[in-house]
């Protein structure tokens, strides 16, 4: 049988582990690119953009450039989200439903 003290200790350990994982992710870099690679971006795990590369062929076509930048940014942010969810699921042992974060 579990005591309340054991449950609270386990909850604190889980919280500490999740905090450590979040900090590790914040230090990592995540890249995203448009389908053809004409635009690529790099974000930190804190969702801050640290680089943007645009192929010369898109500089004179604002509509295409916009679509490519959106695709690249969404790809990078999606990778960050997937990583965060994976780490949380690993720590929580499936106790938290997928897609909650």
pLDDT in tens, 47-64: 999 999 999 999 899 999
Are 59 and 38 contacting, i.e. CB atoms less than 8 angstroms apart?
no
In a domain, 72, yes or no: yes
List of residues 6+ apart from 32 with CB closer than 8 A: 40, 41, 43, 71, 72, 73, 74, 75, 76, 77, 78, 79
**CATH number of the domain residue 37 falls in:** 3.30.1310.10
Q: What are phi and psi of 35, to 5 degrees?
A: -55, -40
Asked if residue 76 is part of any domain, the answer here is yes
* pLDDT tens for each residue of 58-99: 989 999 999 999 999 999 999 999 999 898 888 877 666 655
16 is a domain residue:
no
- Domain, as residue range, for 69: 28-92
Question: Is 54 a member of any domain?
Answer: yes
CA 72 – CA 28 distance, rounded (Å)? 17
pTM across the whole model: 0.80
């Amino acid at each position: 049988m579990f005591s309340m003290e054991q449950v609270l200790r386990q909850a604190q350990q889980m919280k500490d582990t999740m905090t450590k994982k979040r900090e590790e992710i914040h230090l990592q870099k995540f890249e995203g690119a448009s389908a053809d690679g004409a635009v690529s971006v790099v974000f930190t795990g804190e969702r801050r953009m640290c680089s943007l590369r645009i192929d010369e062929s898109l500089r004179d076509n604002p509509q295409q450039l916009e679509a490519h930048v959106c695709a690249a940014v969404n790809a990078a942010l999606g990778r960050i989200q997937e990583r965060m969810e994976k780490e949380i699921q690993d720590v929580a042992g499936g106790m938290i439903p997928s897609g909650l974060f």
